[in-house]
A and B are shown apart, each in its own frame.
Chain A
Amino acid sequence: MEAVANNQLVSIEKPEIVAPPNWEPVIIGILCNWCSYAGSDLTGTSRIQYPPNIRIIRVPCSSRVDPWFLIKSLQTTADGVLVSGCHPGDCHYISGNYYARRRFLVTKKLLNFVGFHEDRIQFSWVSAAEGPKFAKVVAKVTEDIKKLGPLHLYKKENFEK
């Protein structure tokens, strides 16, 4: 069989799934402790408002994020995942975010290949001083995932039925 070219890897998620009324997506945000988590704290201290759909998990570094976490999130509780780390070059652990970036690209490709829409998992750089930026990122991710609707693909409950 011929190899599938990258640009042919399109989502097999069905757009016709209609979200129930008052549906709100659940988004898991996995943030590194030193930049993005601190940045999200700053968003709080600055009282900048953002959509309440995100649930934040703290990890020491974005390089701690195992692709497994993303798969597990989409498989169980989340409609989308945001991973955020320090800006390139600013990693608290010297080079962790570079590993995270590479690993994330591969994971994204894989998840895309098995049928998830690419907006389901997103990546961003937010520094400890970028409170407003964090709010913007969350607002964008929430909006993207709201557009996609609830995630049914590969959800555990679908298999159990």
Chain B
Amino acid sequence: MARVGVFVCFCGANIADFVDVPKVVEEAKRIREVKFAIDYKYMCSDPGQQQIRDAITQYRLTSIVVAACSPRMHEKTFRKALSDAGMNPYLLEVANIREHSSWVHQKDKKAATEKASDLVRMAVAKSIANEQLHEISVPVTKRALVIGGGIAGIQAALDIADARIPVVLVEKSPSIGGKMAQLDETFPTLDCSQCILTPKMVDVASHPYIELIPYAEVLELEGFVGNYKAKIRKKASYVNFKTCTGCGTCWQKCPVKVPNEYNMGIDKRKAIYTPFPQAVPNKPVIDAAHCTMLTKGKCGICAKVCEKGSIDYKMQDEIIEREIGAVVVATGYDLWDPKPYEEYGVGRFKDIITSLEFERMVSANGPTNGVPVRPSDGKVPKNVVFIKCIGSRDEAKGIEYCSKICCMYTTKHTILLHHKVHDSHAYVFYMDIRAAGKGYEEFVKKAQVDTAATYLRGRVSKIYKKGDKLIVRGEDAQIGQVVEVVADLVVLATAVIPPKDNPDLARLLGVSYDKYGYMSEAHPKLRPVETAKAGIFLAGCTQAPKDIPDTVAQASACAAKVCGIFSGDTMKKDPMISTVNNEYCTGCQNCVKVCPYGAIVTEEVPMGHGSKEMRTVAKINEGVCQGCGSCVAVCRSMAISLAGFTDLQIINEIVSI
């Protein structure tokens, strides 16, 4: 006879305010199998857990039901309490009376209490059918895959590699560095971005534990934590990196000019190019879409001038396969296209640029040698208007969220403008100044004093042209009047958005993503770098907009998590997997077809005891099975059972309501 203990949590006031907890306990006591039931203020606290441990021995309980928050929150905590008391941890069931009752039925205490009692009864019924389960240990491939070579990917790769764990770093573009390589200086210290980033890039290239695969993308990821298999497509660079010395003769001689992505299209690059002088690896690639040799079969100059004979027009994409134990996703961000701001004349007026274009212009290695100029006539601007929240916090045209970094970089831009053009004046239209961060508020305050920039709180309604000037009309909410500013140059702080292919990558990896396309963390507070899929972690803006310090911190956190997985030769795996009862199995192999992991194979067993005749049955590879239960539902003879979610457990729940 089952002896169930029920422990109902108040969760402070979270549950107790909306559910009559003592009543739930009373109802639970009326269930025949329940031998002990009690409530407590915080079941997850140590005294709460102690009550569970004590009751297990005192009342010789055979299964435990904790009625509290979601099992996704504290199932592990309570399982541990069970094993501390010498009980098999899988004899626990959690009744979710917080997320599923008290928080969602706050206006009807009676109904919420009834529902909570039902949920407890269901959990009791399920727990009676619970079996003792034991964790499975599976071997681990100690190699990490980092996707994205921006500062997040670089930091994660270096931290993991420093722990002597091999890393495969895959970068989409020809060079690592990401967006940070495009920045001139960084807030709030005005460190030169290149000076702090490029040494790290070189470290990546020279690290004995890092395999850098640039100009490549991940095609497939199969398997599960500790045992993934990644398929990577290395795009054809048409340059043999092994023999190329990076001398640069090829791109100097190349006749085809293409807008330079690194400089936001302000100047041109060649069809064979290195993205920027400090690129890592510092080897050129041919842009197949623009190279006339590859598109029309005419030219071939680069091959002629290359002394090493490194140019190979017949090079094909290459598929690389690697066995991987864990993955860090660091795909970074893109910037929102401000085209919907038609009233600003975006696209019509040349002298409206985005912040990253401005950043490239004031950058020492930029297209204008560090001096901002007007794209229309090349003159140095005197009056520059910066407009924040372009696309951010704008549900009508852009996105709802705050892009987090624009307030700070716009402040930085006012300083950079002041440094480069001494007699200039900056106007900043803003909604709020969000300067939460170490040294950020001080930075803003100091910049406002040093640059004497005019801060105007309000939105810009219209920009129009008068002569060669732009007139920016907006509201100054602090004086409650419409103001007009005569500007030489307008800089738009465009919103941070996830890369366009983020959802595709998320699907490929099996990670969930939100409505914007950012990948979702497992828990917004307590598991910020993990995803719901074990062994896949998120660093940087792939999860949400972030500045460099936060990104680096998150990347290091990912590295710590990866090193944790690789701390042993084997790792523990949840025992919630399928098993086959050979006696019932008819060998129809329906399960083999539906298994998404190929975890089910067939084996031959004797027809009967001592019989020489053989028959086919299904066999589950417990290392590969992920416990989805597809096979259970298709099994006609009910030979397959999924531990933790057996037919009996679920039917018990259904019939006990």
Chain A interface (Cβ < 8 Å from any Cβ of B)? 24, 26, 28, 33-35, 37-38, 40-41, 43-45, 47-50, 52, 55-61, 63-69, 72-73, 76-78, 86, 89-90, 92-96, 99, 103, 127-129, 135
Residue of B nearest to A70 (CB): B654
Contact B100 A64, beta carbon cutoff 8 Å: no
When the two chains form their complex, are residues A64 and B629 in contact, meaning their CB atoms are under 8 A apart? yes
Q: Would you give the shortest CB distance from A63 to chain B, in whole angstroms?
A: 4
Contact A45 B103 (CB under 8 A): yes
Whether B105 pairs with A63 at a CB distance below 8 angstroms is no
Asked whether any CB of chain A lies closer than 8 Å to the CB of B657, the reply is yes
| A60 in contact with B104 given A55-B119, A90-B512 (CB within 8 Å) | no
Please give, as numbers and ranges, the residues of chain A lying within 8 Å of B70 by CB-CB distance. 41, 44
Contact call A34/B115, Cβ cutoff below 8 A: no
Cβ–Cβ < 8 Å partners of B112 in chain A: 52
Closest A residue to B114 using CB positions:
A52
Residues of B within 8 A of A86 (CB): 512
Known: A55-B115, A57-B653. A44 touches B596 (CB 8 A): no
Which residues from B are CB-within-8-Å of A58? Answer: 71
Q: Are A129 and B630 in contact (CB under 8 A)?
A: no
Residue pair A28, B657 in contact (C-beta under 8 Å): yes
Q: Nearest chain B CB to A97's CB is how many angstroms away? A: 10
B581-602 to A contact mask, C-beta < 8 Å, 1/0 = 0000000000000101100000
Asked if B101 lies at the interface with its beta carbon under 8 angstroms from chain A, I say yes
Give bound CA distance, A72 to B597, whole Å: 30
For the complex formed, measure the closest distance between the CB of A101 and the CB atoms of chain B, giving whole angstroms: 12
Nearest-neighbor residue (CB-CB) of A49 within chain B: B104
What are 30 A-B pairs at a CB distance below 8 A?
Answer: A28-B654, A37-B72, A41-B72, A43-B99, A44-B70, A44-B98, A45-B99, A47-B104, A47-B106, A49-B104, A52-B111, A52-B115, A55-B118, A55-B122, A57-B122, A57-B653, A60-B629, A60-B645, A61-B628, A64-B632, A68-B651, A72-B654, A72-B655, A92-B628, A93-B626, A94-B510, A95-B596, A96-B629, A99-B630, A103-B633
Q: How many residues of B contact A (CB 8 A)?
A: 53
User: How many angstroms from the CA of A55 to the CA of B100 in the assembled complex?
Assistant: 8
B627 within 8 A of A: yes
Contact in complex: A94, B104 (CB < 8 Å) = no
Do the beta carbons of B100 and A44 come within 8 Å of each other?
yes
Give every chain A residue within 8 A of B576 (Cβ-Cβ): 60
Q: Does B157 contact A (CB under 8 A)?
A: no
Contact of B630 among A37, A56, A96, A127 (CB under 8 A): A96
Additional A-B contacts beyond A73-B654, A95-B596 (8; CB < 8 A): A41-B96, A50-B105, A52-B114, A63-B628, A90-B512, A93-B630, A96-B630, A135-B104
B72 with A77: CB separation less than 8 A: no
Residue of A nearest to B512 (CB): A128
Chain A residues whose C-beta falls within 8 Å of the C-beta of B72 in the assembled complex: 33, 37-38, 41
Cα separation A13 to B220 with both chains bound (whole Å): 49
Per the bound structure, the CA–CA distance linking A15 and B18 in Å amounts to: 36
CB interface residues, B 505-550, toward A, < 8 Å: 507, 510, 512-515, 520, 532-533
Give the residue name and chain of the B residue nearest to A31 (CB).
B100
Question: Does B107 belong to the interface (CB within 8 Å)?
Answer: yes
State the CA gap A124–B614 with chains docked (Å): 44
Shortest beta-carbon distance, B108 to chain A, in Å? 6
Residues of chain B at the chain A interface (Cβ within 8 Å): 70-73, 96, 98-101, 103-108, 111-112, 114-115, 118-119, 122, 507, 510, 512-515, 520, 532-533, 576, 594, 596-597, 626-630, 632-634, 642, 645, 647, 650-651, 653-657
CB distance from A150 to the nearest CB of B (A): 14
Q: How far is the CB of A79 from chain B (nearest CB, A)?
A: 11
Known: A57-B122, A61-B629, A129-B514. A72 touches B111 (CB 8 A): no
Number of A-B residue pairs with CB-CB distance less than 8 Å in the complex they form:
143
- By a CB distance below 8 angstroms, the chain A residues around B122 are 55, 57
- List B contacts of A65 (CB < 8 A): 633
A34 touching B512, Cβ below 8 Å: yes
The complex places the Cα of A41 from the Cα of B72 at a distance, in Å, of 9
Task: Report whether A60 and B657 are in contact in the complex, using a CB–CB cutoff of 8 Å.
Answer: no
Given contacts A49-B106, A72-B651, contact A64 B628 (CB under 8 A): yes
Tell me, rounded to whole Å, the shortest Cβ–Cβ distance linking A68 to chain B: 7
Instruction: Judge whether B650 and A128 touch: CB under 8 Å.
Output: no
Q: Is the CB of B651 within 8 A of A63?
A: no
Residues of A within 8 A of B510 (CB): 92, 94
| CB atoms of B654 and A52 under 8 A apart | no
Inter-chain CA distance A127–B514, complex, in Å, is 9
For residue B630, which residues in chain A have a CB less than 8 angstroms away from its CB?
A: 61, 63-64, 93, 96, 99
B101 touches A66 (CB 8 A): no
Whole-angstrom CA separation of A40 from B656 in the bound complex = 22
> B407 to chain A: closest CB distance in Å?
26
Shortest 3 CB-CB contacts between residues of A and residues of B: A44-B99, A64-B629, A93-B628
Q: Which residues of B contact A59 (CB under 8 A)?
A: 629, 645, 650
The answer to whether A76 touches B629 (Cβ under 8 A) is: no
Distance of A129 Cα from B544 Cα, bound (Å): 14
Query: Within the complex, what minimum Cβ distance (angstroms) separates B473 from chain A?
Result: 38
A127 to B533, CA, bound (A): 14
Measured in the bound complex, the distance between the Cα atoms of B515 and A11 in whole Å is 38
A64 touches B533 (CB 8 A): no
With A93-B630, A99-B630 as known contacts, state yes or no: A128 contacts B520, CB within 8 Å. Answer: yes
A55 to B189: give the CA distance in the assembly, Å.
54
Given A58-B71, A92-B533, A96-B596, A49-B107 contact (CB < 8 Å): yes
B512 engages A35 (CB within 8 Å): yes
On whether the beta carbons of A57 and B99 are closer than 8 Å, the reply is no
- On whether the beta carbons of A52 and B105 are closer than 8 Å, the reply is yes
Nearest residue (CB) in B for A59 is: B645
A residues near B507, Cβ cutoff 8 Å: 89-90
Whole-angstrom distance between the alpha carbons of A66 and B645 in the complex? Answer: 12
B650 touches A77 (CB 8 A): no
Q: Which residues of chain B come closer than 8 Å to A66, judged between CB atoms? A: 632-633, 647
